[in-house]
Amino acid sequence: MISNSETEISLMRKAGEITRNTLLYIESLIKPNVSTMYLDKCIKMFIIENGANPSFLNYNGFPASSCISVNETVVHGIPSEKIILKEGDIVSVDVGVNYKGHQGDAARTFAVGKISAEKQRLIDVTKQCFFEGINALKIGERLGLLSVAIQNYAEKKGFSVVRELVGHGIGTRMHEAPNVPNFGKASDGPIIPENIFLAIEPMINMGKKEVYMESDGWTIKTVDGMPSAHYENTVFVTKNGVEILTL
């Protein structure tokens, strides 16, 4: 969404604030022997208690309030009582918030207890990919500059970038134009306008870039079974720079 309306900008900031606080809250609950369904119920309750609604619940038929993806699950993991976190796992939590018709969207990958050094490195590189991307995001320049910056950083660190899933515009709808790939060429994509809201979300694999969808029609996993990490924020691109609304 492109907006010069102070009211709309204020509502987007509030949606982003609730999204950020939801992730901060849920981080405190992540530990071994907790089910992803329990985390999802806590997420739903927290969002509602903060005067908003979970955007993902029933979105295109998605059956939960958040996407919770463990280890080799890249994104869109469906919370379940049967999926129990264990020591050494990594878990990606993706949250969407609808505040008075305006959307916030963010994701983090968390460690469950003590994890391997390589899993921690994957989490750290994925997070830094986001910042490499927004450092390249400039009004009047191609969106492809962001995509190239993310891809180059991930691959320089020995990881791979998922191709089938991308970031997106955001506003009064969860997914709006333009698509925001984490790979590509500097000449790709539209020219970035002033006052646009984007959800930027590197999805980075420890092994090969290839993924597949499970039979539930949602869960995306790495083909080689290697771990994947996800880091996302909603941002507002202005003439004064990039404002991160969910951080």
Domain with 92 in it: 6-244
**Residue 70's closest CA among 105, 109, 23?**
109
Q: Quickly tell me which residue has 């994947």 as its tokens.
A: 228
Determine, yes or no, domain membership for 147.
Answer: yes
Count how many domains the chain has. 1
**Residue 61 is assigned to a structural domain of this protein:** yes
Chain centroid to Cα 75, Å, comes to 9
The predicted structure's pLDDT at residue 223: 98
Q: What whole-number distance in Å separates Cα of residue 222 and Cα of residue 210?
A: 6
Does 57 reside within a domain?
yes
- The answer to whether position 194 is within a domain reads yes
Q: What is the mean pLDDT of residues 27-52?
A: 98
Distance separating alpha carbons of residues 221 and 157, to the nearest angstrom: 21
Distance CA 26, CA 29 (A): 5
Give the DSSP letter string of 153-191. Answer: HHHHTT-EE-SS--EEE-SSSSSEEEEE-SS--TT-SPB
Q: Is the pLDDT of residue 3 over 90?
A: no
- On whether residue 1 sits in a domain, the answer given is no
3-class DSSP assignment, residue 7: helix
Please indicate, yes or no, if residue 177 is contained in any of the structural domains.
yes
Tens of pLDDT, residue by residue over 73-129, are 999 999 999 999 999 999 999 999 999 999 999 999 999 999 999 999 999 999 999
Q: Is 203 contained in some domain?
A: yes
Q: Does residue 92 lie in a domain region?
A: yes
Place of tokens 């010069």: 4
CATH number, domain containing residue 114: 3.90.230.10
- Reported as a single tens digit per residue, the pLDDT across 190-236 is 999 999 999 999 999 999 999 999 999 999 999 999 999 999 999 99
H or E, element range at 42: helix 36-49
**How does pLDDT run across 123-174, given as a tens digit for each residue?**
999 999 999 999 999 999 999 999 999 999 999 999 999 999 999 999 999 9
